[in-house]
Amino acid sequence: MRQTVQQTNFSYLLIALLILLVTIPLADDLSLASAPLVRGLVFSVLLVVGIWSLKGGGRFFAVGMAFVVVGVALNVTAINLPSPYLQFGSILSLIAFLLVAITYAMKQVAISNEISVNRIVGAICVYLLLGVIWAMTYTVVELASPESFAGFAPTREQGWDSEWLYFSFVTMTTLGYGDILPVSATARGLAYLQAVVGQFYIAILVAGLVSAYISGRQSVNND
């Protein structure tokens, strides 16, 4: 088990997630003419770079690679041929890949007895993955049932963008600015579930990992 954790480098996944969270808002804020293309490229980067974090994960890597291939193919096709079905397919492929990644990361973070910087990075990745997964899920809800959210007017052509990421992380951190609101019962249910999961995750897992890491370092120094 210890060897597996040492071989797992979560920095690749963290870099991919940070690229997603930084590039998408910049593309929207700068009103780039090719914003859909930028989102598509970032989508592909997240899949390709993120899959590298699953290297050595056995079946997790194989399953993740399958979703990456399907996701990238659908994403490229959706850029050149706008279609709600292709959007659904590409978003669902991303969600599936993220679920595989978060399952593998949680296995490494929660089960291993070794406390290391890489393990803490994995815990951060899990938290960011939760936010991205919920953002993708909100997008699917809005595409399937328009006007499930109030406060902005997304269209079927936009797909997932910075507004979904913003609403997801604001909800998970329970900031609750109130500028974007869930209207439908499904949207509200997803919102309060995300708030509960986000708070429990920070309180139990991340705080425990950091505390154990600091205690372990202090023990080594005392010895």
The domain spans of the chain are 2-222
Distance between the two ends of the chain, CA-based, in angstroms? 25
- Residue 100 buriedness (CB in 10 A; 0-12 / 13-18 / 19+): buried
Q: Give the residue from 14, 22, 67 showing the smallest Cα distance to 44.
A: 67
DSSP-derived 3-state class of residue 158: coil
Rounded to two decimals, the pTM is 0.79
Q: How confident is the model at residue 6 (pLDDT cuts 50, 70, 90)?
A: very low
- In tens, the pLDDT along 127-158 reads 998 998 999 899 888 888 888 998 875 554 44
pLDDT beyond 70 at 191:
yes
The predicted model gives 75-104 an average pLDDT of 77
> Mutual orientation of helices 117-144 and 84-111 as an angle, nearest 10°?
150
Q: Which of 6-10, 40-44, 79-83, 194-198 has the highest mean pLDDT?
A: 194-198
Q: How far apart are CA 158 and CA 22, in angstroms?
A: 18
186 Cβ neighbours under 8 A, 6+ residues apart: 141, 145, 148
pLDDT, residue 138, reads: 92
CA 73 from centre of chain: 20
Q: Helix 185-200 to helix 117-144 angle, to the nearest 10 degrees?
A: 170
Do residues 44 and 74 make contact, with C-beta atoms less than 8 angstroms apart? no
**What is the pLDDT, as a whole number, of residue 184?**
94
> 95, 136 in Cβ contact below 8 A?
yes
